Structure formats: C-alpha cells, structure tokens
C-alpha cells in the first residue's frame, strides 16, 4: 500500500475517532445554550437561538461556587496526597526494581470503587469524618496514588542510575537523592501526573456521592441533583456538565505538550 | 591517612560469587589501576570501595576505619563515573557546590574551593552552563572538578575516559596523571584499556574473574608477567603466544620449527616436568636479522605502518603473529623476513589453565 493511501486511512481514522469524542462534547455544550424546549426536541435542533438561561438557572438555584470549591479541595487535596505518597513509592520501586508493591496498588485501583466504599463509610463514620473533605481526600487517593506511581515509574526508570549513585557518593541520603536530584529530573512527569490525578479525581463520581454531605458535595455529585425521578432539567444539567468539564479541559489544553510527551514515555517504557 | 585495605572481601550476587576472597592494600597517595576484561569484577570492587555495593564477607578499611557498614555518604570518597553522572538540572557551579552544601561548608569556603578547582581545570567559562551545553571533554573535566572540590580521602575513577574520542582520551589521561601527582591523594582507577593502566598507574592490579592475577608496577607487570593471562592482556598488540613442545633443551613449534633454547629459557624449562609449554614473545622482541642468526623465516601477510613503528603480521606455528619493526625497514606484504626471538625478553608459560610464567622467577 502506498504512502498516500496510508495517510488517507490515518486521516479517516482520526476523523472517526474525533467525531466519536467530539459529538458528546458538542451535544453537551450546545444543549447548555439551548432554550429548555429545544434541548429535548426531536428531531434535534442544530440551529437555535443561544441563551444563557440554563447557566443563569444553574448559578441562581444551586450553590455552584461552593460545589466548585469542594471539587477543587477534594481533587487538589487528593492529587497532592497521591503525589506525596506516589513520588517516593515510584522512586523506590524504580530504584529497588521490586515491582510487586506497584502491582498491588494497581490491582487495588482495578477493583470496583464500591468495594472500598462500605468499609470506608463505616470507618469514617466511627471517627466522625463522614461528609468531611478529609474523608473524601483520603478516599480519592485510591484513584490518584496508582496514577502517580504508574505514570512516574517510567520517568524514574529513565533517570540514569549513575546520577543517583553520584548523589549518594556526594553525601545524600535516600530522601535527599529523591528531593534534590530525582524529582527535579522527572519534573515533566510530575506535571503530567498532577494533571491526570486532578482530572481523574475531579471526574470521579461515586465516592463523593456517598461520602459527601450537602456542605461538602462536589460538582460532579451535585450535578446528579438535576436528574429527577419524573422530570430532568436537561438544559441546566448540560450547563453544569459544561462547567464541570471546563477546568480539566483547560488544564489539559494548557499542558498539552507535556501531557502527550509524558503519556508517550509511559506507553513506551511502562 | 587514606590507604584502602581489602581483607578477604567477597561479593556474591545471589548464588553467584563474583569476587572470591580478595586481599589488597592500596597505599596512601598511591594511584592504583584495576585492569581486566569485561566482567572481571573491577567495577564491582570500585563500587565496594565507595559503598554502592555491600560486602558479602570480609572487611574493608579506609585508613584505619572499617567501613563495611558505612553508607557512601559517610565514606568521604569521590567518584568520577563512566558517563560522568553530572546533575543535568544544575549548572556546572551547582554541580560542584552540591556536595559541599550537603557537608555544610560556609559559602565563602565553597566559593574559594570551586574557583580554585575551576581555574585548575580551566572550566571557569562554563560555570554558568548546564551539562547538556558542554562537550564530552568539558563534561569530563566538570566531573573531575566535582570530585576535586570535595577534597576527599580518595578518588575513584570508573572508566572515565571510555566515552571520549581517541585524541581527547590521551589528553585527559595526561591531565589525570598530572593531577594525581599534584593532588597527592589516593586514587583508584578502573579501566579495561591496558594502555591507560600502564600510563597512569603507580601499581597495576590485573584481574580476571574477580581474582588478582598480578599486582605490580607497570614495568613489572609488562616485563615479568605472572602468568599467560597477564602476558596476553597487557601490551598492545598482544604478546604472541606459541604452543611449544619441549625437546631436550629446545622448543619445537606446532609446525615443526625448532627454537634453540638459551640459558634463561633452558633454566625455565628445567623448573618444570611438563612437555607442552607456551612460548610468549612480545611483538617488539621479534627482530629482523641475518638468515644465519634467524630462528624463523616468515612471510609477511599484512603491514600496518603506525609512523613510529610498523606492525607486520605473519603466520608462525599455525598462529597469526605480529612483529613490531623499525619503519626504516619498509617491509612489504609478501616479503620473506628472517626473524630472531629476543630470548632475554621471551617468556615461557605452563600450558595449563593457570598458565604460570616459568621465566619470571628465573631472572634475565
């Protein structure tokens, strides 16, 4: 097959994948600007008069910014916790070449979240932490810790061992080798890990639904309120979904170059 | 005092014993080179000294202090790595100050040391650069500078010249030699290049499979090799080795050529009852002579002019051999040349695994 055809097939694949990814986003953003009657119209209306009514409804009827703050606290806190535990863990796994702890953490991540929820719920209830940010940050670290370890591992693997040994000979203990030498060398990996941890915990629904209360509800859990038993306010739900999706999308867009290169490292070495 | 003493030091990796009980004393201010083929354990020994490898048995002393259980950071040893191992996120100056900051030295002292060493190594213009903006030779200097600013008890060099091109390697080798003479600090240098070993060292430790084959000055190792391994490893081109059969006092090559024995070789032959031996002759100890004086006449197969010498390859005793000749002779491929073996410099070895040299102990 000649190169022209390979390029055409690649282009077609990209187009199909792009459509599959972009249509739901288009649908979500478009619906958020549609008048309530047009949101559920059949056949769907592609030409409509855009309105901010759904956003007005969202901001006036819900404590949107409190939910936003909760999401930032929970996603940010669990990202920091995941990094704080994941960086040394990945470093030691890479250094010692003993992989089983990382595999164990990954296995925990593969398990359905529901498995963790019941024991957590009981434990947090015992210590009076149900509905607190702390309980959610701890719970969400189950998502961020494996990401941190597995994304950072190939980055640490790429650090020449001799450089770490040179630091030891220069007088560093293990913690100092990590802090002064290894971490600065894997900074692109840490940026990628931060983004991924933040996005994954930002978007994770189940833990917040069970562990939060009215005060600490995150955006993603609060959006569930718009789905009623009888009538669902689709326009406001789409406005909320758009607002929820915005921070991760902006973050990913800003860091796109690092994100792609970081994920490629993971793909090749991991 | 920063002598380094190995007392029955052993190293095992799992079930595999890579360093059998190893005894050696490296004296204060001495430059010792560990040389041997890949996998002979020389780098492992270096890593044992600096604490990057643990010891499976035995004791290691730096000065009077037993250091078996000390971490690398506690040993006050500096090491120059094969790939330089500079910190890529730090400038040259930061690379050099890093260890000093950890030691807790004052800024004034740190600056004084860095400036002094940078001047000595002529790296002042690069102090603000990152390692990626330096050439291989400059990186090499920075790696040495990083070690030197620490003023450690001993320097370790792990094949630091192997990543340099041939010309730079010679220049840096000379610099290291000059440094070792001016710094007067114990140095251990690891290389597989016997020319580096010969040119740099006060003493050479020739290793094979973790076992010391010979320890001695470059001249001792070259002129009186302890066994066939040392004789074959040291010297470039390698020593010519011929399987010979003893016939009375004389030696007969596999192709039937008889080499008349003289007093020294005869004395060596007399020390053993073995019939099969190995005759070792360095390329420079084969000389062109008149037909009457010749031990052998050979057909030149390849001529390699080096400028200062000319290397001529030929076959003798069913083996490819090399003779180092005066370029004035202008030998040509296909020439038939009469050669004489310099018996005062030839060696006789046992033809077993140990390959013990029989001439080293019998004198010239």
- Asked whether the beta carbons of residue A169 and residue B146 sit closer than 8 angstroms, the reply is no
Residues 148-187 of B with CB under 8 A from A: 150
Q: How far apart are CA B157 and CA B80, in angstroms?
A: 5
Identify all chain A residues contacting B73, using CB atoms and an 8 Å cutoff.
168-173
Identify all chain B residues contacting A187, using CB atoms and an 8 Å cutoff.
89
Residue B58 DSSP SS3: strand
Is residue B75 exposed (0-12), middle (13-18) or buried (19+ Cβ within 10 Å)? buried
pLDDT higher than threshold 80 for residue A256: no
Number of domains, chain A: 1
B80/A contact by beta carbon, under 8 A: no
Whether A215 is covered by a domain: the verdict is: yes
Q: A-B interface: how many C-beta pairs under 8 angstroms?
A: 58
Whether A9 is covered by a domain: the verdict is: no
Closest Cα in chain A, distance from residue B107 (Å): 17
Residue A97 DSSP SS3: coil
| Cα Dmax for chain B | 76
pLDDT higher than threshold 80 for residue A265: no
**Residue with the larger pLDDT of the pair A45 and A23:** A23
- Asked whether the beta carbons of residue A165 and residue B72 sit closer than 8 angstroms, the reply is yes
B94/A contact by beta carbon, under 8 A: no
- Asked whether the beta carbons of residue A167 and residue B103 sit closer than 8 angstroms, the reply is no
Q: What's the pLDDT score for residue B364?
A: 42
B52/A contact by beta carbon, under 8 A: yes
Whether A239 is covered by a domain: the verdict is: yes
Q: What's the pLDDT score for residue B361?
A: 56
Identify all chain A residues contacting B71, using CB atoms and an 8 Å cutoff.
168, 173
Mutate one of B43, B53, B72 to test the A interface: name it (highest A CB count within 10 A): B72
3-state SS string for B227-260: EHHHHHHCCCCCCEEEEEEEECCEEEECCCCEEC
- Asked whether the beta carbons of residue A170 and residue B146 sit closer than 8 angstroms, the reply is yes
Whether A104 is covered by a domain: the verdict is: yes
The ipTM (two decimal places) reads 0.85
Closest Cα in chain A, distance from residue B331 (Å): 48
Q: What's the pLDDT score for residue A269?
A: 33
Mutate one of B43, B77, B89 to test the A interface: name it (highest A CB count within 10 A): B89
Q: What's the pLDDT score for residue B225?
A: 93
Residue B302 DSSP SS3: strand
Q: How far apart are CA B215 and CA B24, in angstroms?
A: 9
Q: What order of strands is seen across the sheet that includes strand B65-66?
A: B16-26, B4-13, B57-62, B65-66
Closest Cα in chain B, distance from residue A175 (Å): 13
Residues lower than pLDDT 70 in chain B: 1, 360-364
Q: What's the pLDDT score for residue A267?
A: 41
Identify all chain B residues contacting A168, using CB atoms and an 8 Å cutoff.
51-52, 71-73
Mutate one of A166, A179, A180 to test the B interface: name it (highest B CB count within 10 A): A166
Residue B298 DSSP SS3: strand
- Asked whether the beta carbons of residue B85 and residue A166 sit closer than 8 angstroms, the reply is yes
Backbone angles phi, psi at B356, to 5 degrees: -60, 135
Residues 127-166 of A with CB under 8 A from B: 160, 162-163, 165-166
Per-residue pLDDT of B204-245, as tens digits, reads 999 999 999 999 999 999 999 999 999 999 998 999 998 888
Query: Hey, which residues does A101 pair with through a beta bridge?
Result: none
**Residue with the larger pLDDT of the pair B4 and A45:** B4
Whose CA is closest to B213, among B27, B34, B28, B16?
Answer: B34
Whose CA is closest to A81, among A13, A162, A143?
Answer: A143
Whether A165 is covered by a domain: the verdict is: yes
Per-residue pLDDT of B103-124, as tens digits, reads 999 999 999 999 999 998 889 9
- Give the single-character DSSP code of A177: I
Identify all chain A residues contacting B86, using CB atoms and an 8 Å cutoff.
163, 166
Per-residue pLDDT of A83-120, as tens digits, reads 999 999 999 999 998 888 888 888 877 888 888 888 88
- List, in order, residues 6 or more apart from A63 with CB less than 8 Å away: none
Closest Cα in chain A, distance from residue B27 (Å): 21
Residue B286 DSSP SS3: strand
How far out from the chain centre does Cα B99 lie? 30
- Asked whether the beta carbons of residue A185 and residue B89 sit closer than 8 angstroms, the reply is yes
Q: What's the pLDDT score for residue B151?
A: 93
Closest Cα in chain A, distance from residue B74 (Å): 7
What is the CATH number for A197?
1.10.3720.10
- List, in order, residues 6 or more apart from A58 with CB less than 8 Å away: A64, A236, A239, A240, A243
Closest residue in chain A to residue B146, using alpha carbons only: A170
Identify all chain B residues contacting A173, using CB atoms and an 8 Å cutoff.
71, 73
Whether A117 is covered by a domain: the verdict is: yes
Whether A3 is covered by a domain: the verdict is: no
Nearest by CB to A170, from B51, B83, B99: name it: B99
Closest residue in chain A to residue B100, using alpha carbons only: A170
Mean pLDDT for A209-216 is 86
Q: What's the pLDDT score for residue B205?
A: 97
Whether A138 is covered by a domain: the verdict is: yes
- Asked whether the beta carbons of residue B52 and residue A170 sit closer than 8 angstroms, the reply is no
pTM above 0.90, yes or no: no
pLDDT higher than threshold 70 for residue A231: no
Please state the length of chain B: 364
Mean pLDDT for A174-181 is 95
pLDDT higher than threshold 50 for residue A60: yes
- Asked whether the beta carbons of residue A172 and residue B102 sit closer than 8 angstroms, the reply is yes
B132/A contact by beta carbon, under 8 A: no
A209/B contact by beta carbon, under 8 A: no
- Asked whether the beta carbons of residue A165 and residue B99 sit closer than 8 angstroms, the reply is no
A180/B contact by beta carbon, under 8 A: yes
| Mean pLDDT, chain A, whole residue set | 87
* H runs (alpha helix) in chain A: 3-32, 36-39, 53-61, 64-96, 100-110, 113-126, 133-158, 161-169, 174-176, 183-185, 187-203, 206-211, 219-222, 234-254, 256-269
Identify whether the C-beta of residue A181 lies closer than 8 Å to the C-beta of residue B73.
Answer: no
Range(s) of the domain holding residue A80? 62-267
pLDDT higher than threshold 90 for residue A214: no
Residue A180 DSSP SS3: helix
């Amino acid at each position: 097959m000649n190169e022209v055809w390979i390029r055409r097939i690649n282009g077609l694949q990209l187009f199909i994948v792009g459509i599959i990814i972009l249509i739901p986003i288009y649908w979500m953003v478009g619906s958020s600007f549609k008048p309530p009657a047009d949101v559920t119209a059949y056949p769907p209306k592609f030409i409509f008069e855009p309105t901010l009514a759904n956003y007005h409804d969202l901001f006036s009827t819900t404590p949107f910014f409190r939910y936003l703050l909760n999401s930032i606290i929970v996603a940010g806190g669990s990202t920091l916790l995941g990094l704080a535990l994941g960086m040394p863990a990945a470093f030691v796994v890479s250094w010692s070449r003993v992989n089983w702890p990382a595999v164990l953490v990954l296995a925990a991540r593969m398990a359905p979240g529901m498995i963790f929820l019941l024991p957590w719920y009981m434990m947090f209830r015992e210590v009076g932490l149900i509905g607190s940010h702390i309980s959610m940050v701890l719970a969400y670290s189950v998502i961020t810790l494996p990401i941190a370890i597995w994304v950072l591992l190939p980055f640490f693997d790429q650090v020449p061992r001799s450089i770490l040994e040179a630091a030891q000979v220069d007088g560093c203990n293990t913690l100092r080798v990590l802090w002064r030498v290894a971490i600065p060398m894997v900074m692109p990996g840490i940026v990628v890990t931060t983004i991924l941890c933040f996005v994954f915990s930002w978007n994770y629904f189940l833990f917040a639904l069970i562990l939060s209360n009215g005060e600490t509800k995150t955006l993603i859990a609060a959006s569930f309120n718009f789905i009623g038993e009888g009538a669902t306010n689709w326009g406001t739900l789409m406005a909320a979904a758009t607002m929820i999706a915005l921070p991760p999308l902006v973050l990913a867009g800003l860091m796109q170059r690092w994100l792609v290169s970081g994920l490629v490292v993971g793909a090749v070495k991991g | 005092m920063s002598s380094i003493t190995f007392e029955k030091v052993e190293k095992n990796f799992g079930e595999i014993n890579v360093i059998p009980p190893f005894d050696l004393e490296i004296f204060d201010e001495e430059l010792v080179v560990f040389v041997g083929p890949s996998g002979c354990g020389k780098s492992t020994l270096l890593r044992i000294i600096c604490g990057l490898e643990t010891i499976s048995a035995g004791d290691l002393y730096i000065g009077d202090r037993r250091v078996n259980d000390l971490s690398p950071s506690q040993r006050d040893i500096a090491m120059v790595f094969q790939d330089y191992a500079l910190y890529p996120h730090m400038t040259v100056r930061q690379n050099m100050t890093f260890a000093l900051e950890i030691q807790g030295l004052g800024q004034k002292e740190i600056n004084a040391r860095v400036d002094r060493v940078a001047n000595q190594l002529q790296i002042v213009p690069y102090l603000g650069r990152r390692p990626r903006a330096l050439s291989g030779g400059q990186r090499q200097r920075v790696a040495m500078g990083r070690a030197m600013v620490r003023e450690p008890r001993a320097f370790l060099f792990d094949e630091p010249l192997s990543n340099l091109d041939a010309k730079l390697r010679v220049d840096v080798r000379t610099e290291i030699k000059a440094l070792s003479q001016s710094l007067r600090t114990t140095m251990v240098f690891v290389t597989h290049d016997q020319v580096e070993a010969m040119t740099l060292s006060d003493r050479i430790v020739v290793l094979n499979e973790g076992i010391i084959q010979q320890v001695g000055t470059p001249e001792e190792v070259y002129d009186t090799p302890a066994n066939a391994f040392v004789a074959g490893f040291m010297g470039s081109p390698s020593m010519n080795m011929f399987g010979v059969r003893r016939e009375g006092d004389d030696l007969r090559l596999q192709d039937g050529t008889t080499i008349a024995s003289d007093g020294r070789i005869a004395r060596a032959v007399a020390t053993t009852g073995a019939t099969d031996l190995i005759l070792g002759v360095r390329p420079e100890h084969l000389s062109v002579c008149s037909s009457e004086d010749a031990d052998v006449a050979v057909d030149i197969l390849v001529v390699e002019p080096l400028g200062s010498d000319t290397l001529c390859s030929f076959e003798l005793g069913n083996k490819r051999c090399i003779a180092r000749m005066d370029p004035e002779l202008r030998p040509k491929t296909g020439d038939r040349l009469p050669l004489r073996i310099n018996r005062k410099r030839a060696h006789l070895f046992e033809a077993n695994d140990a390959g013990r040299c029989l001439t080293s102990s019998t004198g010239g």
